[in-house]
Amino acid sequence: MSNTYGYVRVSTREQNEERQMIAMRDMGVPEDNIYMEKQSGKDFERLQYRRLVRRMKKDDLLYIKSIDRLGRNYEEIQCQWRVLTKEKGVDICVIDMPLLDTRRGKDLVGTFLSDIVLQVLSFVAENERTNIRQRQAEGIAAARERGVRLGRPPAPLPPNFHDVYLRWRDQEISVKQAAVECRMPKSTFYYRAKDYGTDGNGSAPAPPRR
């Protein structure tokens, strides 16, 4: 007896998978048969996807909302499609693209059309991934040009930092001694001290590291 499954994927933990989950329920996929994960589509090394593939057997049906939910790597999408449909004998239905439903048109013409659509959509999925990465890189570069600091905000400075900084700035103590007094690694103290002097809080630029 064949079973129906659904695969849901979002790229980050901030994205919401509810739209895909609703589509799976509308298709009548049992809740226990929906495999969902929050992971990049750059490859198929995904825990839930691997579990899904192991569980499915010949004549089972797999629903995905769109081809980019399966993945975003042109060659790997087509490879996985062949593994599922040819090697495991599973049917696949891409909800947003009715032409990609292996239950229909299993003759030569139908298979030919499906292959063409799959190639186009998997290319589009990878191209979009490339564009996303480019936009991210451009956004980071633009932010840095504006002086925006990226990443986690630095931890608060210890209460004695100002006094220790002044003694180190005046070369009364070494960077190693200053780091010990502030209970931080030498590299961290020096980095924070440079910022402290540059921002004007230290009244004068930091001296060379010693």
What is the pTM assigned to this prediction?
0.57
Annotated catalytic residue within 11, 40, 66, 187: 11
pLDDT of the chain, 210 residues: tens digit per residue: 799 999 999 987 667 899 999 999 999 999 999 999 998 878 888 999 999 999 999 999 999 998 888 887 878 888 888 888 888 989 999 998 887 888 876 655 445 556 666 666 666 656 666 666 676 666 666 666 766 665 666 778 899 999 999 999 999 999 999 999 999 999 889 888 887 865 545 554 455 445
> Sign of torsion, CA 134 135 140 142?
positive
Q: Annotated catalytic, 11?
A: yes
| Rounded CA separation 42/89 (Å) | 25
| Rounded CA separation 157/196 (Å) | 10
Q: How far is CA 50 from CA 43, 44, 61, 95, in A?
A: 12, 8, 16, 21
